[in-house]
Structure 1
């Protein structure tokens, strides 16, 4: 046997690979997971020797998810529900809401409130921040005015010019006595050890989210903290698609990056803050998180906007963001406008959109012509023929990279946040979105959508069907891996 192995080492390795691959494939099937994802893994294991096993090793195992359930679920029950219970809308207020012009969206409100205990909050003000320049100007201004604490959570905390400016400001505020806490995703960020040391020496508490070995080789490792949020003094919040990186700031680049962020004031900030504190507890490994009274201060009405925060991740028992958007799509009567850098929908969302289109709802999808991911681009394109045939209009954004993650319903309800319209955002990563129930704000968002269409080319079905065969082949193979992208 030893002689055979030494003389036929390649064949021996292949035999070992397929023994492991068949056993792993059986284990994947036995888990009764998402059928599309399961099939993708099984095909990878059987068709790509060695590579398939490595992909499953890095992306497919669920031990991290099990660990999160144990560590986060208890604290969600003890702490977060305690604070958000104070904000839950009583029946009388909800009845008044249901009698308003947004009555048709009470199903979305009820879903989020009943399944995730995320309250509908009133008296909020929302400021739309277009692109990185506006976002960082507003963020830095708020950071300079912070009196008690600054809490940040980012998927990408880069080392470029904008990252240096933020680092300098955080160090300055911490040295002035403001309590600063930072969570950064270990895979998505490129925070140097010297920068982390400088922050810590200035008094900033900073922790990575789920450190992994060789992060540069595992850019898509499962269960990443994809959120981009900041809470200042419990009264001002920021959330949206813009990370801390120079590529998001157009004044620092020759290329153009289209994105959207929000500046929030009012009770909605409490709900946003609760999610930060929950993740802070997770990354620090604390047995009991210490919540100061000023973390949830009483605030006066700042405006007339009703809002909810909806979050999802592998620590929850259902894909809350996906279910909220799914319900909103089913409630739409006139229009659905979607912007997303990656359109890789799961089957329920695809059916919901096609069904809405069949009802006569005007559905328009905007995504980048040239994205930042080759595989995601072709996976997105693989859905175009089907949805174009269903009557959904598609617009390719040509001015640069479109990274905004928004959905507008009937000019009355909009979602803005970190969640892409893909399987990874719906099922795997930690995401957070703001649901805004306000006609004036949604109309403003719709005006920006129409303005962005001026930088788009509409994708027409008859021309799309004539694209080269090699493009179609790339799309078909990319779609096989869609749940992993």
Structure 2
């Protein structure tokens, strides 16, 4: 038997390959996806033994259907059902919203039907333009906590700013304040000494999907890319700014990091609290009873309409991507987008091209210097259609732009953790605030226009003249878009 295997190992491997390939091909056919995609995958599986299986494993699987954790443990609890019931509008309230949101009501209905994301009306929000503005406010709110602190971050490092915040968590835990922290095990780096300090002081903390060698773990893993802070169920933060020194601007070191976060007081905090508990239920495996004290009644008198939407492999729909698509498709005047990673899907590119060809003012800000060469080259491959359609693309020169924002028609805007790329739309766990408010839109619009002063426009004629070598690099990098 061993001798037979030795002399026929190649035939055996090839047979196993085609058995697995046949199974994969049947799976692809049953998905009823785009015929061109289906045919492409089947051709690769047949004519490229072994390599075809690798390509299918990396690119062809439906990430959204691979449920990472079950949200029912949280969503079925009576307090959560009660809160969701309270958010349901009657006909008069819907009409009131309809009167000033116009076409954006489609967006409200989309998020509610696909992710049960309620539209909250009583909110006060503050746009935070960078880490130098966010961190002092967050620290002040953490120090003022009276009942609980909940943090959920992709990156937490115990560098200078991280240590300051983690020390505050320890002090608050010693005051019998409930402190819960969850961090992504690939993105974060907390020393054993700091972890021991957190434990000794009563801070509950858990990594999200821990890995053995985080530094060498590829981005194929499902990662929790969210950045959420909740204080006493009254104040919440969400946006692009992680807890790390890199997110602080330092003129003495010529370091500038342009980012955007939002501080929320009001009803929308309850939605973020629910999302936090679904993650906490998974990472801690604690099936505890959620109490009303985590969802206090709001005393907010401001009226900013706001939805919190999350997406990830645990959701049935690509909620954030679909919301962005709808916002673009229903735009009437302008669409201003800022994103550090622009590796979109066909739906978003088509929507932007149609908007630009229809005469809308479509502008996109991306970094001039990316923190990933592969992303930079892949992004360049997507600009052709946009520029040809009349959209304007700008590269940010002042530093690294990490803000993830979109403003449409002076009425709609979004700030969150989702990049405009494949990973954020399909693989990572993300959360965005969708804001329907003229004043907020004007602020974010002005931030966008201010950022244009630190940008250089991409000239379409120059873009077309780039070398064949660059075009090949861009096309090759584009193939890797699901992984970057």
Tell me which moved more, 381-390 or 296-305.
Answer: 296-305
Distance 1:62 1:76, change over 3 A: farther
Deviation at 1:136, TM superposition (A): 0.8
The aligned counterpart of 2:145 is 146
Deviation at 1:373, TM superposition (A): 1.3
For 2:368 and 2:39, the matched residues in 1 are separated by 29
For 2:381 and 2:452, the matched residues in 1 are separated by 22
For the 8 Å contact 2:310–2:431, the answer to whether it is kept is: yes
The aligned counterpart of 1:285 is 285
Q: What are the within-5 Å matches in structure 2 for residues 143-292 of structure 1?
A: 143-251=142-250, 254-287=254-287, 289-292=288-291
The aligned counterpart of 1:355 is 354
CA deviation profile, 1:325-361 (whole Å, cap 9, x unmatched): 1111111100000000111111111111111122211
Runs of 4+ in 1 over 4 A off after TM superposition: 1-9, 11-21, 33-65
CA deviation profile, 1:440-468 (whole Å, cap 9, x unmatched): 11101111101100110101111100112
Distance 1:399 1:14, change over 3 A: farther
Tell me which moved more, 25-34 or 435-444.
Answer: 25-34
Deviation at 1:26, TM superposition (A): 3.2
CA deviation profile, 1:268-288 (whole Å, cap 9, x unmatched): 11111111111111112234x
For 1:121 and 1:333, the matched residues in 2 are separated by 24
Distance 1:48 1:239, change over 3 A: farther
Deviation at 1:48, TM superposition (A): 8.9
For the 8 Å contact 1:237–1:272, the answer to whether it is kept is: yes
For 1:37 and 1:145, the matched residues in 2 are separated by 54
Distance 1:470 1:168, change over 3 A: same
For 1:233 and 1:339, the matched residues in 2 are separated by 31
Deviation at 1:12, TM superposition (A): 8.0
Q: What are the within-5 Å matches in structure 2 for residues 78-477 of structure 1?
A: 78=77, 80-100=80-100, 102-251=101-250, 254-287=254-287, 289-477=288-476
For the 8 Å contact 1:40–1:483, the answer to whether it is kept is: no
CA deviation profile, 1:298-325 (whole Å, cap 9, x unmatched): 1112423111111111111101111111
Tell me which moved more, 260-269 or 25-34.
Answer: 25-34
For the 8 Å contact 1:340–1:420, the answer to whether it is kept is: yes
Distance 1:293 1:258, change over 3 A: same
For 1:451 and 1:286, the matched residues in 2 are separated by 46
For the 8 Å contact 2:365–2:394, the answer to whether it is kept is: yes
TM-score, structure 2 normalization: 0.91
Query: What are the ranges of 5 or more consecutive residues in structure 1 without an aligned counterpart?
Result: none
Deviation at 1:18, TM superposition (A): 5.3
For 1:435 and 1:128, the matched residues in 2 are separated by 13
Over aligned residues, Cα RMSD in angstroms? 2.9
The number of equivalent residue pairs is 481
Distance 1:17 1:359, change over 3 A: same
For the 8 Å contact 1:341–1:368, the answer to whether it is kept is: yes
For the 8 Å contact 1:5–1:12, the answer to whether it is kept is: no
Deviation at 1:115, TM superposition (A): 2.5
For 1:59 and 1:146, the matched residues in 2 are separated by 45
